[in-house]
Amino acid sequence: MMDMYEAEKRLQELFRQPLEDYQKRRIIFWYDKSQTFSDELGEYQLEDVLVLRCDEQHYFEMKYLVEYMHAEQNVLLYFEGERPENERNPLLDMYLYSQEFKMDPMENLKDELGITIETSDVFFRSYALFFNNKQRRKQFATVLAEKQGITEHDLELAVLCVLTKTKELHAFGVFRSLFTEYGIGQDNLWQQVIKFGRPDAFWHLAKLSFGYSQEERTVDTLVQAVFQTKLHAEFEGKVPANWEKQLLSQANNCVVFLNRWMNLRDEQASYNQLSDAVFEDLQIIKWMKNKPAKWLAQSDTFQAFDRQLVEGIALQLAEGAILFDEFEHIVLNRRSSYWFAAFADEYEALLAAIRLLKQVHLVEKEGFPYQKEAFWKKYEEHYYLLDSYYRQFYVAYDKGTGLFDAFASLRMTVENYYKNGFLAKLAETWMTFFKDATAFSVENTMKQERFYKDWISSYAAKENRIFVIISDALRYEVAVELGQQLEASTHYNVNLHALQGVVPSYTELGMASLLPHHQLSLSPNGDVLADGMGTKGLNQRNAVLQAKLDVDKAKAVDAKEVLNSSRSELREIFTGNGSVFYIYHNTIDAIGDHAASESHVFEAVELAQQELMRLIDKLFNGVSAVRFIVTADHGFLYTRDALHTLDKVTAERTDVIASNRRFFTNREADSQNQALLDFRVDVMAEEEVYVHIPKGASRLAIQGGGSNFVHGGILPQEVMIPVLDITTERGKEMHKSVDVQLISNTDRITNIVTYLDFLQVQAVSTERRARKLKMYFSDGMENLISNEVTLLADSPNEQASDRMVREKFVLMSQAYALLSEYYFVMIDLETGEEINRKKFVIDLPDAGLF
């Protein structure tokens, strides 16, 4: 029953509605059969409305009052009884040009929704208990509010939507709500369907939607059958034989239904719970046991598939499998799968391991260059990647792969391949180039000791501002990655160069060589001097800069001070204080150079890259910096496992000037040790200073810990010094994303399961960014009629054939009309932009109904 306010409000709304052209006023008849509103009527506030209570004895009086006495006024005629038949109604002529007001909830609901189907009265009577509730009636009307041409099927579906708390008129929503309760072991909504709805209507919907028609019908068996049918489709029928009776005829709808659910961000938690429950109930673990990775990769229905997949690939790699291309393909494709985020660290570790092992095999097959300069160039362009893959493996491994025993075995394989298969052999070959050399030099390379002359002096001369960021132990491969990150931004253009670093490659000499100077030398206590001035620490380096360039033209600053400064403080530091700024950053070396923390050096690399990005952004935005140089004093070597005795060299060291685990310097030209290389420190031409370095990647045997992270030697990892030459450009356009084209030469679908081919037109590079797309089929009303496919176009391969992919689309089982409009749609997930919409004809006469 509606309350007084509702009836009064509805009457007020009716009387306020604009009149038609032929109307001068509004007359409303109200027949209150149950006399429910009789007592309330006198309290209604109906402005400019004559309210008349009518009965059979006063019909003609009422007619006289309405048509003669109040001919211009709005009138409400209230009758305590039902409307008489037309032939017995004295006021029929007046009724026919008036309106009837109804407070019967069902009648009002039918009027509100425009329900005109003949069987609606039977429907409403059959659901009397459901509609005997104001809230359910309101929800029912809300669900149907946007529906045009309501059918009896819509009415049945709307009831199920209300009882299952589904907000949209869609069968998928009803199933999703009931299936969600299965996932948490409840059936409250199903009990609502039993109590207030008609279970037969639900089972009819299940038959239409999925082809479910089992004799003993339960929500549990329906849920399981939908999953079983999806798996049957994904694994091309290779499922347990005892599932045969549970498989549903509308297989495509099972696939599309679960696929859509997985793509609903707000519903992913419910899908996770459901899939875990079904996995246990169907005992999938027994079926998937010992299945190979390539087989498991056909589906992402259950989390356990990815768990076994990553563990299986890790174990096979650890045991020596060389299916690198197959494994890489699986891992790359998995990035757009549902469970990837849950295993992102494992997949990243696998990808790095696969690429590292593959490259080690390739290096072993091809061998190293026999010429020193060619070797240097090969490291600059390619071999550095193996150091990157090794680092990337450990970054991912340390985050979360400890749950898998197989990754512990894989780690040992990665360690062995990198250390013995790559690093030891690289070092052995590299050392042969210097066995008879008296000084370390790679011809036709830019030198670190000329850094200021070659890169900075021209800016100082013109008094143009330049910001030189020196990051301690920023290894070449780390700088490559940093450059890629900067280049991908909207502000920076980056060019990367490689310098030959000074030897020994340690902090004090490396930092001194980057300062303006004519000659480097040693103080009596062994400190490195630049033209006689100390270079140790920020204050001494600042003094060197200001002595060479004048006090008001140069300044040395600690990166921490910049990172912690406000914009006004930044301006105070850099405004009016010169044109050359040296900014010293120390994160990698600060963590790697201590025994207690050296195992975290790869984490430090990640942190350093983030800090350098922030530092450059802050200077760009805070003081309008437009030119940066990022470089390093030296690189580093790092391996994770503890070193063995064979990895260490025992050497007699006398009159040592400087030393660490990779070198020592003194005034003796010959160390008399076959395990060492002896060079003159040629950047100190005026002094007799010699450096003695263990051959290969060996360390000097010194008491104490901290021998995994080292530098000081001559390996490319230690002495290839990066220079990132960075210019800024306000308003620079983001690099364009790669283009993706549908290359299948068809616009007609003749199979409910369809494969389409796509081409990533350009390779990912510094000029073209990767792109992530969502693709699907829809009808002319923008309703999805297929699964959604995510395509990640991020291939850097130059060969176009390597950038072609084939994707599977499953259409819903429903009636398709040849003349109706259907579209294939491609959406850029980053921008939301629709990048392609192609019209298709769907010629599937036997697709079925949904």
Would 652 be classed as within a structural domain? no
pLDDT for the residue 138: 87
Contact 562/573 with Cβ under 8 angstroms?
A: yes
pLDDT for the residue 850: 38
Query: Looking at the structure, do residues 600 and 522 belong to the same domain, yes or no?
Result: yes
Contact 802/795 with Cβ under 8 angstroms?
A: yes
Strands annotated E in 300-379: none
pLDDT tens digits along 744-791: 988 999 888 899 999 999 998 877 888 999 999 999 888 899 999 999
Is pLDDT at 561 greater than 70 in this prediction? yes
Q: Of 541, 480, 482, which is closest to residue 510 (Cα–Cα)?
A: 541
Domain tally, the chain: 5
pLDDT for the residue 824: 95
Hey, what are 392's tokens? 């990337």
Cα–Cα dist 394/401, whole Å: 10
pLDDT tens digits along 506-545: 999 999 999 999 999 999 888 999 999 999 999 999 999 9
Q: Of 210, 172, 179, 191, which is closest to residue 278 (Cα–Cα)?
A: 179
Task: Name residue, tokens 């300044």.
Answer: 555
pLDDT for the residue 271: 97
pLDDT for the residue 845: 67
pLDDT tens digits along 266-281: 999 999 999 999 999 9
Domain limit, last residue, from 289, 323, 338: 289
Contact 434/375 with Cβ under 8 angstroms?
A: no
Query: Looking at the structure, do residues 324 and 261 belong to the same domain, yes or no?
Result: no
Contact 160/202 with Cβ under 8 angstroms?
A: yes
Hey, what are 373's tokens? 């300069």
Q: Of 187, 208, 190, 207, which is closest to residue 199 (Cα–Cα)?
A: 190
What integer best gives the mean pLDDT of the chain?
91
Query: Looking at the structure, do residues 484 and 608 belong to the same domain, yes or no?
Result: yes
CATH code (residue 789): 2.60.40.2550
Cα–Cα dist 548/517, whole Å: 8
Q: Of 124, 161, 123, 158, which is closest to residue 144 (Cα–Cα)?
A: 158
Q: State which H helix or E strand residue 546 sits in.
A: helix 537-549
Phi then psi for 704, rounded to 5 degrees? 100, 170
Calculate mean pLDDT across residues 462-478. Answer: 94
pLDDT for the residue 792: 92
Contact 517/684 with Cβ under 8 angstroms?
A: no
- With cut-offs at 50, 70 and 90, classify the pLDDT of residue 391: very high
Which range scores top for mean pLDDT: 84-93, 168-177, 548-557, 841-850?
A: 168-177
Q: Of 782, 846, 786, which is closest to residue 815 (Cα–Cα)?
A: 846
- With cut-offs at 50, 70 and 90, classify the pLDDT of residue 731: low
Is pLDDT at 652 greater than 70 in this prediction? yes
Contact 715/662 with Cβ under 8 angstroms?
A: no
Query: Looking at the structure, do residues 428 and 505 belong to the same domain, yes or no?
Result: no
Would 270 be classed as within a structural domain? yes
Helix (H, G, I), strand (E, B) or coil at 511: helix
Cα–Cα dist 337/520, whole Å: 57
pLDDT for the residue 729: 78
Phi then psi for 514, rounded to 5 degrees? -85, -15
Cα–Cα dist 286/121, whole Å: 53
Calculate mean pLDDT across residues 49-55. Answer: 92
CATH code (residue 467): 3.40.720.10
End-to-end CA distance of the chain: 37
Query: Looking at the structure, do residues 518 and 538 belong to the same domain, yes or no?
Result: yes
Helix (H, G, I), strand (E, B) or coil at 556: strand
Query: Looking at the structure, do residues 740 and 718 belong to the same domain, yes or no?
Result: no
- Binning the chain into helix, strand and coil, the percentages to the nearest 5 are 45, 20, 35
Residues facing residue 610 across a β-bridge: none
Domain limit, last residue, from 66, 82, 103: 103
pLDDT for the residue 660: 93
Calculate mean pLDDT across residues 309-313. Answer: 95
Domain ranges, residue 489: 446-637+709-728
Q: How much of the chain, in percent, has pLDDT values that exceed 70?
A: 97
Query: Looking at the structure, do residues 604 and 719 belong to the same domain, yes or no?
Result: yes
Strands of the sheet containing 663-666, edge to edge, are: 658-660, 663-666, 690-694, 676-680
Say if pTM beats, i.e. exceeds, 0.95: no
CATH code (residue 26): 3.40.50
Measured at the CA of 470, the angle between CA 467 and CA 474, to 5 degrees, comes to: 135
Is pLDDT at 577 greater than 70 in this prediction? no
Query: Looking at the structure, do residues 746 and 720 belong to the same domain, yes or no?
Result: no
Hey, what are 563's tokens? 């990172």
pLDDT for the residue 401: 64
Query: Looking at the structure, do residues 540 and 621 belong to the same domain, yes or no?
Result: yes
Query: Looking at the structure, do residues 236 and 319 belong to the same domain, yes or no?
Result: no
Query: Looking at the structure, do residues 453 and 593 belong to the same domain, yes or no?
Result: yes
Domain limit, last residue, from 80, 103, 126: 103
Q: What's the Rg (C-alpha) of the chain?
A: 39
pLDDT tens digits along 356-383: 999 999 999 999 999 999 999 999 999 9
Would 110 be classed as within a structural domain? no
Region of poorest pLDDT, from 202-206, 273-277, 332-336 = 332-336
Calculate mean pLDDT across residues 718-729. Answer: 95
Is pLDDT at 3 greater than 60 in this prediction? no
Would 304 be classed as within a structural domain? no
Cα–Cα dist 712/504, whole Å: 5
Query: Helices (H) and strands (E) in the chain — how many of each?
Result: 34, 32
CB-neighbour burial class of residue 377 (10 A; exposed 0-12, middle 13-18, buried 19+): middle
Would 212 be classed as within a structural domain? yes
pLDDT for the residue 35: 82
Is the sign of the CA dihedral 363, 366, 372, 378 positive or negative? negative
Would 116 be classed as within a structural domain? no
Query: Looking at the structure, do residues 492 and 584 belong to the same domain, yes or no?
Result: yes
Cβ atoms < 10 Å from Cβ of 577: 14
For residue 35, is it left (φ>0), alpha (ψ between -120 and 50) or beta? left
Would 767 be classed as within a structural domain? yes
Would 46 be classed as within a structural domain? yes
